[in-house]
Amino acid sequence: MSGTFVGMPAFPVAAHDAVRNETLRGNLRHATHTIRAKRAKAVAEVSDWAELREAGKRIKDHTLFHLDRYLVQLEEAVTAAGGTVHWAADADEANRIVVQLVKETGESEVVKVKSMATQEIGLNEALEEEGIRAYETDLAELIVQLGKDRPSHILVPAIHRNRGEIREIFTREMSEWGRPAPEGLTDTPAELAEAARLHLREKFLRAKVGVSGANFMIAETGTLVVVESEGNGRMCLTLPETLISVVGIEKILPTWRDLEVFLQTLPRSSTAERMNPYTSMWTGTTDEDGPQNFHLVLLDNGRTDTLADEVGRQALRCIRCSACLNVCPVYERAGGHAYGSVYPGPIGAILSPQLRGTASEIDASLPYASSLCGACYEVCPVAIDIPEVLVHLRERIVEGGQVTREGNKVILKPAKGHAAERAAMRAARWAFGRPGALRTGQRLASRTRRFHPRTLPGPGRAWSESRDLPTLPAEPFRDWWQRTQGGNTDKGAAK
């Protein structure tokens, strides 16, 4: 069983260790910088990127604004095509549905395609409790599962591991789960991929039940789309007799044609490819081709609560490309685990506190896990203004206010931990509302400047532990301006 995120400390605490872990920093720097340059090149190749981005944003917004209609349409289309649709209001319900469906097949193992939704609900753990073993088949997910680790990236959950560490995990753990790693396995990526191929093949060939998510669901046709690279997706989607897909309700697109936007923007944003190696599209069931039993579990689990927030709902446009993670300077240094969620990075910092609420320490700290540099917004293929949502969530934490939790409107109180900050902000606002008061403060500071330390005690230590303070000038600008009548009589600055 892979580790969980329950009881995570606040982001700054988790990040404290991560920034000091030289191996982790090196792994992340290498991987994110590699993909950054590639993505930029893949995006520059299409001259209409801005138009594709705008269309993607508008399609998603339109869908979200008519989500009830499209959900019903999708349900009809999937049912007509031979599938069965289930609705799950939360993680527990989704897990119960999947467990029940697997039990009905009489099987005790399932093969899984990488899916954020099933990680979000902790499906593997729920299956394990019922004696059903779930095999992750994506290479990175396999690394995480074998290493009893947690995912740290949306696209590449084992991004925090380098090839040497992966070799070590394979050599040590594969025999526990099935076919052992080949003798003398080296750390070349091709050999590691080959080891995964051999290890998983026996599982694919015997599997009777596959579990997946989906990148897109088409309301008008009932088609589901899975975008992948390795072929593990195709294995899970076509070899088993039963296929269970757990998909967030925001993954809908109204029409078949809408794919023309996202099949151009998603691969270039995520793996920086013109097109990913494999994309599977299926509509219900097909006679004598692929699974003859298809179940679609539509998952809410906080999505409708997010939808209720006028500013925050744009997070539901996300297509999980992970471009925002790859350009984020905070992610690069803190690593994915610090975000305490299967959704790390900038998108995680706005998604987790909305899907889960801000009651826990980690969720309340995520909106602050950003310098608001805006690199995430710039690369987002559906133009989610992540800094805008971060600031909005900060406001909700410090000011409280109305939010929706499990479909009910509740009033949040201002968070307790921010009382001193709130008082300081009010005091500053008071002073800034009165130029005279500001000036008195400035002068006092300047006149006592020789007594100012270069480092600070208390909360100020957060600054002065790693940075010197600026020296205060002899006089603030406004005094100089007044003294010299706008510089006209300047005889040099006061000393």
Partner 1 sequence: MSSRERILGRVRRALADVPQDDTSYEQAVPREYLREHGDRSVEQTVDLLAENLADYRALVHRTDAEELPNLIMRLLAQRGSQSVLVPPELPPEWMSAAGPTRVHDRAASTPHELDKVESVITGCAIAIAETGTIVLDGSPDQGRRRITLVPDHHICVVRVPDQVVSSVPQALERLDPTRPLTWISGPSATSDIELDRVEGVHGPRTLEVVLVSGRASAEENA
Partner 2 sequence: MRVALFLTCVNDTLYPDTGRAVVKLLTRLGVEVDFPMAQTCCGQAHYNTGYRHEAEPLARHFSDVFGEYEAIVTPSGSCGAMVRELYPRMGERARAEGRGDSLATTLAPVVPKTYELTEFLVDVLGVTDVGAYYPHTVTYHPTCHGLRSLGLGDRPRKLLQSVKGLELVELPGADECCGFGGTFALKNPDVSAAMGTDKVRNAESTGAEVLCAADNSCLMHIGGTMTRLGTGIRPVHIAEILASTEEEPAA
- Running DSSP on this structure, what letter comes out for residue 110? E
DSSP class of residue 227? Answer: E
Determine if 434 is a binding residue for partner 1 (CB under 8 A): no
Q: Name the residue nearer to partner 2 (CB basis): 69 or 478.
A: 478
Q: Is 96 in the site for partner 1 (CB under 8 A)?
A: no
Task: List the single partner that 22 binds among partner 2, partner 1, none, CB under 5 to 8 Å by kind.
Answer: none
Cβ-in-10-Å burial (0-12, 13-18, 19+) of 194 comes to middle
The answer to the question of residue 92 lying near partner 1 (CB under 8 A) is no
Amino acid identity for residue 306 in this structure:
T
Q: From 63-71, 340-348, 349-357, 384-392, give the range in contact with partner 1 by CB under 8 A.
A: 63-71
Of these partners, partner 1, partner 2, none, which one is at the site of residue 176 (CB under 5 to 8 Å by kind)? none
Q: From residue 360 to residue 399, what is the string marking binding to partner 1 with x (rule CB under 8 A)? A: ----------------------------------------
Question: Binding partner of residue 277 among partner 1, partner 2, none, CB under 5 to 8 Å per kind?
Answer: partner 1
Find the radius of gyration of the CA atoms of the chain: 26
State which of positions 163-192 bind partner 1 (CB under 8 A).
163, 166, 189-190, 192
List Cβ<8 Å contacts ≥24 apart for 358-364: 358/393, 358/396, 358/397, 358/412, 358/415, 360/8, 361/8, 361/9, 361/10, 362/5, 362/8, 362/9, 362/10, 362/11, 362/14, 364/10, 364/397, 364/415, 364/417
Token couple for 27 = 């792994």
Of these, 8, 15, 24, 67, which contacts partner 1 (CB under 8 A)? 67
Binding site for partner 2 (CB under 8 A): 11-12, 15-16, 19-20, 25, 310-311, 329-330, 333-334, 367-375, 377-378, 388, 391, 393-399, 421-422, 425-426, 428-429, 431-435, 438, 442, 445, 459, 462-463, 465-470, 472-473, 475-478, 480-482, 486-487, 490, 493
CB of 58 vs partner 2, minimal distance in Å = 19
Of the two residues 10 and 155, which places its CB atom closer to partner 1 in the complex? Answer: 155
Q: Min. distance of Cβ 88 from partner 1 in angstroms?
A: 6
Of partner 2, partner 1, none, which one sits near residue 431, judging by CB under 5 to 8 A according to partner kind? partner 2
**Cβ–Cβ under 8 Å, residues 257 and 246:** no
DSSP symbol at 414:
P
- Could you tell me the smallest distance in angstroms from the CB atom of residue 460 to partner 1? 39
The neighbouring-strand residues paired with 243 are 210, 294
Residue 212 · residue 226 · CB < 8 Å: yes
Q: How far apart are CA 238 and CA 280, in angstroms?
A: 9
Q: Is 253 in the site for partner 1 (CB under 8 A)?
A: no
> Cβ 342 to partner 1, closest distance in Å?
16
Residue 215 burial (C-beta neighbours within 10 Å; 0-12, 13-18, 19+): buried
Q: Which entry of partner 1, partner 2, none binds 442, CB below 5 to 8 A by partner kind?
A: partner 2
